[in-house]
Chain A
Amino acid sequence: MSAEGGDPFGTSIKATDQMKQLMVEYYIEAKTTQEKPICWITSGGPVEFLIAMDVIPVYPENHGAMCGASKIAPGLAEVSEEMGFSRDLCSYARLDIGGAVKQEGAIPGGLPKPDFLLCCNNICGTVVKWYEELARYLDVPMFLFDTPFIHTEKTEHATEYVRQQCLELVKFLERQTAKEFTLEKFAETAMLSVQAVELWKGVLKTAENRPSPFTCFDAFIHMAPIVTLRGTQTVVDYYTLLKQEMEERVEQGIGAVTDERFRLIWDNIPIWYAMRSLGDLFAGNHACLVADTYTTAWAIDIQIDDPLTSMADAYTKIYLNIAIDMMLEQLVGLIERYQADGLVMHSNRSCKPYSLGQYDLARAVTERTGKPALIIEADMTDSRVYSEAQVRERVEAFIESL
């Protein structure tokens, strides 16, 4: 997801340049804008409201990924560790707090200071604590968009609570921006968002083909616009282009990995600093990571006839906000749909909601599909806890066993 992260393997994707350009322009606008307010938002947050209100959304998690990929994460994390934040906390939070204090990061001068914060806890409870600290440190208002977790059932009162919060969020944004919310603009944004999401799903679907035209390492890089800017025409244009290129590749039989022999599913957030070496490792062993649970998380459905209710519903049902038995269904679905030979799980010590439960999931997936699962221990940005040699050995042994 890094703006300057390269395209490590296979035939390089041509659209990458456009994507980079798009992200660079986005960050330049965010850094230089005089009139548009800036809101820091969590990756699973309902960004459509911000776009419809002409607010520039800034994603500390996206920036965290960039810092991870460019290997400056540990240095930033240390700043917050010196402030007393434990090394066991989510490394996105640690490096973001460090970056905010130092005003440094993967873009010059660090992220632009927010006017307010929008925190949605459909990905974890960590973001609540993290944004509370940002609100205190940066002295800006924070809106918590609270999406009750789904264990065994999705209750009506929960959906209603989330739906009502959409309206409350609108009022909050009107107060913060001194602008009026209009349904027309919102419907337009929601429609563009739906289009982008559909196109993104289309991109991901091309990987069902053999050979797959891209690997999930490519998807990690090309997901940045869908996460940050869905709801804009630029993003629709971009994914139209990317989808076209992927479809062409399929037609021409171009695979992302030379001589694709094994097809694997990836689970959890990428190990950003090791993307290149992991990509080479899998590709070198003719294994293609054809799909993952991370980039599909942004494939949410919004119904145009009742955008608020369907948004409340979609934002509550996302992958990290459901119980592991429901996650299992999705994992099994991915394995079947992509005809995968196995599952690779990144046990990510930064991210408890994503990682706790993986041991059970790994066993259950094998039981259900007969496909083996490999678990590697790492951290998404904190390379201080990563052992490359160990991971290499385990991956090689796993592929050999397939």
Chain B
Amino acid sequence: MGSDALKQLLDMRDDPYARARDWKERTGGRVIGFFCCLAPEEMLHAAGALPVRITGENRPITKSGAHLQSYCCSLARTGLDMALEGELSFMDGTVFVHTCDTMMRLSDIWRLNAGFAVHGDVVLPVRFEGDLAREYAYNELSHFRRKMEEQLGPIDDAALNESIRVYNRNRALLSELYDLRRENPSILPGDHALWLVNSSALMEKVEHNALLEEVLEDLRSSNAQADGKVRLFGVGSAMDQWDFMQMVEEVGATLVDDDFCNGRRYFDTPAPEGDDPVESIAARLWDRQSCACKHHPERDRAACLTDRAKEAGAGGAIFWQFKFCEPHAFDYPHLKKAFDQAGLPSIQLEIEQGSVSIEQLRTRVEALVETIKGAGN
């Protein structure tokens, strides 16, 4: 390996927003932040803006403590802190999707305090079931598009269809990356693979696609020998602890597939391409893997995840939990039971950004790896 494209992408980890700032300087275009991967990024992209994902970061809180209680998840707390400290000043606005109660309130607090010119809310249905909700989702997406047109300029069908194609290309490449790693995880460490997905939401998609093509070219022809690492499946919202991911590799394991919202859930389903771009986006959101923040009575999340873990040949799972995150904490006992029944041992790790102790977590991961090895997986 050692391809230049991979190195370029990995270098972004030191300063995740450098490329977005640089893009803004170069093009004079508008940068729009978003938190949730259900955001219809293609609409922003088609308006000529650069959508950039915010997932908080490891930092002590200075300013956001005056707005959010300590029993709020660190993703919201550190994200707001970054905004209030001016570290996101290269952004022109932010888009919020209705997911959990925390994001719902964060949208209000952000709109009233963060001082960005553009603000958007996509109040998707919570019910992901039935024609009524599906129709409402379509109408809400159309409404959001009009709102963004008012703030960002026209979003015509042709441009939107083109953006959908660009995004679908990205999804196809990332899927291939995960497929290749399922075949042979040793072609690329797990933290690199996850970063390749994460970086996609931090830079221009066309540029990301070009770099990804190069990386994949190398990976397809990689002759890395299987290294026998224990395969793990990751479950949780956002995974942004790269030191943790590296530690997992060090103790002889690798995350080979996941349900992280900056991992598999970011690219899991392509948008069906057609004449009506809003319909394409709605259809994709509808067909995606179920999310802890949405009600999918017909698709049991536990069954989906255990099936995927088995397909990935995982011997066990890590539940990655932000402290105070309700949707994921509510799902945990049900999921845990399903993983147990499927013979997949797991651990639950609860973290807050800014106070993660890799050493403490190491002991837990080591114990899991030992259990799996002991079970002869």
Which A residues fall within an 8 A CB radius of B?
83-86, 88-90, 93, 121, 124-126, 128-130, 132-133, 136, 142, 144, 146, 148-149, 151-152, 155, 157-158, 160-161, 164-165, 168, 323-325, 347, 349, 352-353, 355-360, 377
Given A125-B101, A128-B295, A129-B331, does the pair A356, B72 have CB atoms closer than 8 Å? Answer: yes
Residues in B with CB closer than 8 Å to A325 are 108, 112
Residues in A with CB closer than 8 Å to B324 are 88
Which of B35-43, B120-128, B272-280 makes up part of the contact surface? B120-128
- B8 at interface (Cβ–Cβ under 8 A)? no
B132 close to A125 (CB less than 8 A): no
Which of B20-28, B62-70, B200-208, B217-225 makes up part of the contact surface? B62-70
B101 close to A146 (CB less than 8 A): no
Complex-state Cα separation, A126 to B327, whole angstroms: 7
Given A83-B333, A146-B126, A148-B136, does the pair A126, B101 have CB atoms closer than 8 Å? Answer: yes
Shortest 8 CB-CB contacts between residues of A and residues of B: A129-B330, A84-B333, A157-B139, A356-B105, A161-B136, A86-B329, A352-B101, A151-B121
In angstroms, how far is the closest chain B Cβ from the Cβ of A360? 6
In angstroms, how far is the closest chain A Cβ from the Cβ of B62? 15
- Interface positions, chain B 321-377, Cβ under 8 Å from A, are 321, 323-324, 326-327, 329-334, 336, 348, 350
Complex-state Cα separation, A132 to B127, whole angstroms: 12
B69 close to A144 (CB less than 8 A): no
Residues in B with CB closer than 8 Å to A160 are 136
Q: How many A-B residue pairs have CB under 8 A?
A: 144
Residues in B with CB closer than 8 Å to A90 are 326
A347 close to B126 (CB less than 8 A): no
27 A-B pairs within 8 Å (CB atoms) are namely: A84-B333, A89-B329, A125-B100, A125-B101, A126-B330, A128-B126, A130-B330, A132-B295, A144-B297, A146-B126, A148-B136, A149-B123, A151-B107, A151-B108, A151-B121, A152-B111, A152-B121, A155-B123, A157-B139, A157-B143, A161-B133, A161-B139, A349-B69, A352-B326, A353-B104, A356-B109, A377-B69
Given A129-B331, A359-B68, does the pair A146, B127 have CB atoms closer than 8 Å? Answer: yes
Given A324-B105, A347-B69, does the pair A155, B143 have CB atoms closer than 8 Å? Answer: yes
B69 close to A149 (CB less than 8 A): no
In angstroms, how far is the closest chain B Cβ from the Cβ of A152? 7
Complex-state Cα separation, A270 to B123, whole angstroms: 30
B327 close to A129 (CB less than 8 A): yes
A360 close to B334 (CB less than 8 A): no
- B293 at interface (Cβ–Cβ under 8 A)? yes
A356 close to B326 (CB less than 8 A): no
Given A125-B104, A151-B123, A360-B67, does the pair A89, B326 have CB atoms closer than 8 Å? Answer: yes
Tell me the nearest residue of chain B to A347, going by C-beta.
B69
Residues in B with CB closer than 8 Å to A86 are 321, 329, 332, 350
Residues in A with CB closer than 8 Å to B69 are 347, 349, 355-356, 358-359, 377
A88 close to B126 (CB less than 8 A): no
In angstroms, how far is the closest chain A Cβ from the Cβ of B37? 17
Given A129-B330, A356-B69, does the pair A121, B133 have CB atoms closer than 8 Å? Answer: no
B326 close to A84 (CB less than 8 A): no
B323 close to A148 (CB less than 8 A): no
Complex-state Cα separation, A125 to B111, whole angstroms: 21
A148 close to B295 (CB less than 8 A): no
Residue interface mask B224-242, A partner, CB < 8 A = 1: 0000000000000000000
- B130 at interface (Cβ–Cβ under 8 A)? yes
Residues in A with CB closer than 8 Å to B108 are 151, 323-325, 357, 360
Partner of B326, one of A125, A358, A377: A125
Residues in A with CB closer than 8 Å to B105 are 324, 352-353, 356-357
A324 close to B136 (CB less than 8 A): no
A149 close to B104 (CB less than 8 A): yes
- B213 at interface (Cβ–Cβ under 8 A)? no
Residues in B with CB closer than 8 Å to A83 are 333
B136 close to A157 (CB less than 8 A): yes
In angstroms, how far is the closest chain B Cβ from the Cβ of A324? 4
Residue interface mask B92-115, A partner, CB < 8 A = 1: 000010111110111111011100
In angstroms, how far is the closest chain A Cβ from the Cβ of B266? 21
A124-B101, A151-B123, A158-B140 given. 11 additional CB < 8 A pairs? Answer: A85-B332, A125-B101, A142-B297, A146-B127, A152-B121, A323-B108, A324-B112, A349-B69, A353-B104, A355-B71, A377-B69
A148 close to B132 (CB less than 8 A): no
Residues in A with CB closer than 8 Å to B332 are 84-86
Residues in A with CB closer than 8 Å to B329 are 85-86, 88-89
